[in-house]
Amino acid sequence: MKILAIETSCDDTGIAVIEASKTGDFKVLSNFVSSQIEIHKKYGGVFPTMAKREHQKNLVPVLVQALAESGLLERNKNSIKTEEIASILEREKILYKKAIPFLKKYRKPGIDLIAVTNGPGLEPCLWVGVNFAKVLSLVWNIPIVPVNHIESHILVNYLNNKAIKLPAVSLVVSGGHTQIILMKKIGEYQILGETRDDAAGECFDKSAKILGLAYPGGPEISRLAEKSEPGKIIFPRPMINEKSYDFSFSGLKTAVLYHHKKQDRKIQKSKQYIQDMSAEIQQAIIDVLIKKTVRASKENDAKTIILGGGVSANHELKTQLLIKIKQEMPEADLLFPATDHSTDNGLMTAVAGYMHRNKKTGWKCLKADANLRIS
Ligand code: KG4
Ligand code: ZN
């Protein structure tokens, strides 16, 4: 079956098409992400209304690209009824203006299912993707399956691993979430712990902003950290020894701010200082993430440890977690996505959509939910 997936939960417009065989093998026909980083960089973070606007502009061109690459874009002259489409896209006028000519110009593609992220994420952004999926479902008469964004960060690991040994403990670390999740089977989850304030990615981003680095801060800090080593400056590892699997990263960000403010301007601007700060910030975050993930994995007899989310692109996190698991849980597997599948993309939505293909529904029932929970 062929699945078209749409992901707009934050600031990336992602569309992918996959072909899944009956045996659960995936062929990626296309996977395009239009990043808004250059736009949000100027403001040092994501503004939901601006991100919504960009999704509206990007969705149709990215879809055309994805369908063309998949060999599914065929011209045709269609007459379509615009009234119902206009009512679905009542709050997405820019998208409406782009969607109508597209729907008139191209034939219904050979797609069996539309998967769309319906939460969690930024509410206005989620609605753009959901409403676009509704329109495609209505006009093309293709069912929709809603996808939980956190779950898709986990399930993308099935792309290259057909048989993941369960139970698995997942660490999902992104710009908006930090959760340790026990997966007993696909669709059955228990959140063992989560952040009480900032997410790990948010801590990377906010600390980077304090240091005057560009958004998103995670990749910047990680790049600069490579040029130094942790321990030259000491930051706290919040909640590292607490029994709970919860996290708290806002105290770490405050410690970074106070330390930075105490330095004179010359030091604040020095390359060496920024590199030393980056190395320590990264290590403080990694230490807490690894300690809690390994403890949760041992206590729950995890056969697999799964990493997911934007922060799982971090090379040191992957390397150090792998070493720790080899030492402490040699029987367990560690899985993480390819670097460009760590940050938001449509492919992960497509894989999760396939896993939940039995939950397909009509477009009328679909809603976005910014606070959707995995369990
Ligand atoms: O999953 P994602 O693309 O979006 C959300 O669902 O939030 O995650 C984005 C987050 C950002 O905070 C970004 O700084 C972080 O992932 N990130 C990284 C790296 N690459 C992206 N953090 C640390 N190291 C990286 N290499
Ligand atoms: Zn994400």
In order along its 375 residues, the chain shows pLDDT tens digits of 999 999 999 999 999 999 999 888 999 999 999 999 999 988 888 999 999 999 999 999 999 999 999 999 999 999 999 999 999 999 999 999 999 999 999 999 999 999 999 999 999 999 999 999 999 999 999 999 999 999 999 999 999 998 999 999 999 999 999 999 999 999 999 999 999 999 999 999 999 999 999 999 999 999 999 999 999 999 999 999 999 999 999 999 999 999 999 999 999 999 999 999 999 999 999 999 999 999 999 999 999 999 999 999 999 999 999 999 999 999 999 999 999 999 999 999 999 999 999 999 999 999 999 999 999
For residues 332 and 184, state if they share a domain: yes
Q: Please indicate, yes or no, if residue 373 is contained in any of the structural domains.
A: no
Do 332 and 296 have their domain in common? Answer: yes
Mutational test site, ligand 1, from 11, 13, 149, 204, max ligand atoms within 8 Å of CB: 204
The verdict on residue 268 lying in a domain is: yes
Q: Is residue 206 part of a domain?
A: yes
On whether both 190 and 332 belong to a single domain, the answer is yes
27 lies in the same domain as 128? yes
Same domain, 29 and 145: yes
- 180 & 326 share domain: yes
Atom of ligand 1 nearest to the CA of 12: 3
End-to-end CA distance of the chain: 28
Do 38 and 171 lie in one domain? The reply is no
pLDDT, position 309: 98
282 lines ligand 1 (CB under 6 A): no
Q: Does 299 lie in the same domain as 346?
A: no
Query: Does a structural domain hold residue 280?
Result: yes
The predicted pLDDT at position 43 comes to 86
330 shares a domain with 185: yes
Report the predicted TM-score, pTM, of the whole model to 2 decimal places. 0.97
Domain with 246 in it: 164-337
Kindly state whether residue 179 falls inside one of the protein's structural domains.
Answer: yes
Based on the structure, what is the number of domains in the chain? Answer: 2
The reply to whether 214 and 277 lie within a common domain is: yes
Do 326 and 352 have their domain in common? no
